[in-house]
Structure 1
């Protein structure tokens, strides 16, 4: 769990508003039906000031998620990128996690979200390593989940949508309740897909591999960065399916 320390501002529907004023109605459509898309970015401290990691790529994926879910965003990518940088400046925090989100707002109830307005917010807070500093130093204990990763016949895994993460939440809770730190989720073919909130890489005999997009994973921005690093180091790399047994013997 992340204890969120309130900062000064949140960007909401085109304006920077005080943290405590960024509120939504309890009958917000997306709250009931999971119809929201989001991103997760990191801002890092550098000698030249805070820097947002791969800002453009994250908002390109944000826009693609909206297209997949037939969501008409009221702001273009350039506006959202500038809003993100404005938010970082306004809060004055050198390192933070940033969460842009677009959702079907307060309007009408019912399954069809098209009659509800699309609202957009960007929040940021201080958040350390995803699985904790201890996990970075010593590694984590993971277990194969009994829950199966959905495929594109069920929900579109290439969209970073809140509804998709119910699957991740079930796998995560199952793992932590059994004493593990994280889950490994297989797809409907029994191949390794990804974790609840991260992509998976395997290293065996000097070859680095990761499941392909067709395995039902989200195309992670961090995943793409790791692939670039691997290639820059001259290591052999493959996008390929692999079983849990092949993961166990890495």
Structure 2
């Protein structure tokens, strides 16, 4: 699987700069990308994906995202017939074609269409890979990533248990998140955090959660995606001299924290200054959080973590 020079050359157009997709060997405006109505991605949410950020003209920690994407495909028994080298080539060519220096880039594998009429056997589906990118997405609005966001703890829904959907496999099973988001918005909060059935903090739609308390950086160990941004912040925390803990995080402990922050590929690190009625740091971002946020974007510019993109002139 390769991207032809012709396709890449055609890509540097204004319509691609607002979003582009790679499908079946071609780059196209994202509005032209489509899948069949009977694709199992659509009718069964039978799919995995991953998202790697592009920051100032380079992928950030690309190899970690590729590794997780292929682990997810293996876990779901998806095989679209592509290698890591193939996917890497597609992502480079796609971003180069758009000219975007800051981008949100998705790699996706769907179960696809069942090739045997009437069959419900997933082995009869033809798996397929595609990719798309759009200008950089912030899960938390940039102004709130500076001043601090509010979060609601969902009460009407808990996180899907790991025995049902493996949270380590990036997926589109957002029924619990969507219900929680409606609840959060109606409560006047920016986003939502879900608990598990035992009352422990899990994650939110598109982000991991951290608590800061007494020089400790704590993040939940179960019912969460093992995020690359989460991994980066754990490494940064140790670099800053913090004790890092991956373990159960009861809601009461979160509410007694000194600071709360979230991590996401769509924005890096964002401070949370309010959880329900609990206000942190006088409703301003905490010192530890802002140190971690600053270090995250410093790392995003370090050659050791960057894979530069060769943009077509």
**Shared fold by TM > 0.5?**
yes
TM-score (norm 1): 0.89
- What is residue 97 of structure 1 aligned with on the other side? 104
Q: Give the counterpart of 1:157 among 140, 154, 167.
A: 167
Which residue number in structure 2 is paired with residue 201 of structure 1? 210
1:127 Cα shift? Answer: 3.1
> CA–CA distance in 2 between the matches of 1:133 and 1:236?
28
Larger of the two Rg values belongs to structure: 2
Kindly report structure 1 stretches of 4+ aligned residues shifted beyond 4 Å.
108-111
8 Å CA contact 1:145, 1:184 repeated in 2: yes
For residue 27 of structure 1, the aligned residue among 38, 41, 45 is 38
RMSD: 2.0
Instruction: Report if aligned partners of 1:159, 1:218 keep a CA contact under 8 Å in 2.
Output: yes
After superposition, residues 1-250 of structure 1 pair within 5 angstroms as: 7=18, 9-45=20-56, 50-108=57-115, 111-146=120-155, 147-163=157-173, 165-212=174-221, 215-250=222-257
- The Cα offsets for residues 171-220 of structure 1, whole Å up to 9 and x where unpaired, read as 222211322111111112211111121100000112111111xx211100
3-state DSSP of counterpart to 2:154: strand
CA distance in structure 2 between the aligned counterparts of 1:31 and 1:128, rounded to whole angstroms: 23
**CA 1:226–1:148: 2 relative to 1, 3 Å:** same
Structure 2, unpaired ranges of 5+: 1-14, 258-313
Q: Report the number of matched residues.
A: 240
Measure how far apart 1:6 and its partner are: 6.2
Is the contact between residue 114 and residue 122 of structure 2 (CA under 8 Å) also seen in structure 1?
no
Structure-2 separation of matches of 1:73 and 1:11: 14
Higher alpha-carbon deviation: 126-135 or 191-200: 126-135
